[in-house]
Structure 1
């Protein structure tokens, strides 16, 4: 049934349910660093499938985004101009066998120091699903296949080891993918599993650990990277975050900002797991999907999956 529904219908049905089922976020301490000066830095075109799913920043003020429904990678200049860098090939079956969603989508993206972009594509087909690479001035190329019955979603790069980590929201797995090698299942801990829609989602590498969110469970997870590279024991760092998608650390220890997709909010999560809401729909959020920081500037993409209005890139200032 889900595979016959539109993207907005699927997302709306499940994310609204997730928001309703989860507890109301708790208030953080008074000294929590709020965001201020929120404004929309770029508007996108919903009629062209420009639903920004993930975000990577570059020196000079540019941002790279994946447009999920359009199957595209784009560059957004500091003045808000959007340029399409690549459109991924449409699967022969139209992507109807993409798990849960029933449509092909471009998902997580990261940028290496040399300007190379790595990103994920989920199609439900063995010939296209996996990790893709786009070098400056080049053409997109798949460098690692991932299971067609999964949904690769979040992506992180460890520049020290030139290793990519990928969350699979359907298979409840974090994959370890050398930038020139074969994927291996790094963690299949039960904390990564979904409860009916999407499990492991956002992903970051921070302080010797891989951090991930679980959308269905509203949790933030930490998995230490052991000296031999294996995954350590999972620790749940925060709970009660309905519809949590991607996140970013604020450079204040383990404090992070998290995008709550269904509720249309951004939460500031403290190292002790407490959290407060620092951005809402009143600031311009439209189902936020991803967050990135450059200094004290915070960038948030909104895909408008539920609102079906004004997908955008929002910028705010972190008042540390």
Structure 2
């Protein structure tokens, strides 16, 4: 989740949302081991990692929010820039002022999709072809919104973008086209001022026949069923009290979630019954984590350093076992 700029130039602010500490597996054994930082990034250069998509070989593609970049990071930490989104002159991005690259999703064929928020007509979903080339805008989203998390439903051929300002989940065909307001409502909206920060719907994932969304201001994790006709069903609240929640990931075959808690510099395990416990914390090297990804038993956590202003990085840890349907 992008945060309000606090420095000038490319170093202004960073996208965020979080991590926590260690949830016991059995007895006193931690659920995760071998926690380590594999890559450090340049805060002054705007390399504030906001979101993550994984490749089959264990490498990761990260959005560097304020650098307007998509970076490729190998498991040993080697980093190269895949693409830079075009500069915007009349920028007026809600909440953050600067143009930011936020959510990212990867298709099976290697195509990457990213959200770009600028406050201009360039706001929307952009596509990066597997063989390189310049990023291409495939759908426009409201210039006065802030598209944050992004998810791809490969089976239905749909992209879902969570708009933090409008409290809306936008749906766009994977091939591009007109965005539709797929889901709205108070559950997705930010809290009104002065109580709220302006960040409502934030992280988003597709899970079987449902779209899951986090709401930062309301500290909730939500589930929205996808009907047979593709329409959104009633919003279900699956967990509450997740202060500072950003994006999240499913670590197994069930409904348990690993969620990044940005403001607390934590990642937590959220169980199917809504209870949660710490998995990773600042003691492990987290610095305002923004998202989580899981491949096999490896957990990936980008940290944006949005408020700590210290060490934006990519963190890896190992799950002792896969998390089932609990």
TM-score, with length taken from structure 1: 0.90
Aligned equivalent of 2:229: 228
Aligned equivalent of 2:134: 139
For residues 28 and 207 of structure 1, what CA distance do their matches in structure 2 show?
28
> Judging changes above 3 Å, is the alpha-carbon distance between structure 1 residues 10 and 62 closer, same or farther for their aligned structure 2 residues?
closer
For residues 53 and 70 of structure 2, what CA distance do their matches in structure 1 show?
11
Aligned equivalent of 1:276: 277
Q: What is the deviation of 1:252?
A: 3.9
Aligned equivalent of 2:84: 87
For residues 151 and 295 of structure 1, what CA distance do their matches in structure 2 show?
32
For residues 307 and 230 of structure 2, what CA distance do their matches in structure 1 show?
39
For residues 152 and 318 of structure 1, what CA distance do their matches in structure 2 show?
31
Q: Secondary structure at the match of 2:44?
A: helix
Superposition CA RMSD, Å = 2.5
Q: What is the deviation of 1:59?
A: 1.2
Pick aligned residue for 2:161 from 149, 163, 166: 166
Residues 28 and 275 in structure 1, CA contact (< 8 A), matched pair in contact too: no
Q: What is the deviation of 1:185?
A: 0.3
Q: What is the deviation of 1:9?
A: 8.0
Q: Secondary structure at the match of 2:187?
A: helix
1:137-286 → structure 2 map (5 Å cutoff): 137-180=132-175, 181-195=177-191, 196=196, 197-286=198-287
> Judging changes above 3 Å, is the alpha-carbon distance between structure 1 residues 4 and 164 closer, same or farther for their aligned structure 2 residues?
closer
Pick aligned residue for 2:44 from 37, 47, 65: 47
For residues 30 and 112 of structure 1, what CA distance do their matches in structure 2 show?
36
> Judging changes above 3 Å, is the alpha-carbon distance between structure 1 residues 298 and 4 closer, same or farther for their aligned structure 2 residues?
closer
Q: What is the deviation of 1:207?
A: 2.8
1:61-76 → structure 2 map (5 Å cutoff): 61-76=58-73
For residues 176 and 257 of structure 1, what CA distance do their matches in structure 2 show?
24
Residues 213 and 221 in structure 1, CA contact (< 8 A), matched pair in contact too: yes
Residues 28 and 270 in structure 1, CA contact (< 8 A), matched pair in contact too: no
For residues 132 and 3 of structure 1, what CA distance do their matches in structure 2 show?
23
Residues 64 and 101 in structure 2, CA contact (< 8 A), matched pair in contact too: yes
Unpaired stretches in structure 2, ≥5 consecutive residues: 322-326
Pick aligned residue for 1:100 from 90, 95, 98: 95
Task: Flag the structure with more relative contact order, 1 or 2, with Cα contacts below 8 A and sequence separation at least 6.
Answer: 2
TM-score, with length taken from structure 2: 0.89
Unpaired stretches in structure 1, ≥5 consecutive residues: 16-23
Q: What is the deviation of 1:208?
A: 1.0
Q: What is the deviation of 1:129?
A: 0.3
Between the two proteins, the alignment pairs up a number of residues equal to 308
For residues 101 and 119 of structure 1, what CA distance do their matches in structure 2 show?
18
- 1:9-65 Cα shifts (integer Å, max 9, x gaps): 8779x99xxxxxxxx99x889679721110001111112110000000001121000
- 1:230-255 Cα shifts (integer Å, max 9, x gaps): 00001100001110000000114101
- 1:114-134 Cα shifts (integer Å, max 9, x gaps): 1110000000012x1000000
Q: Secondary structure at the match of 1:75?
A: strand
For residues 209 and 121 of structure 1, what CA distance do their matches in structure 2 show?
24
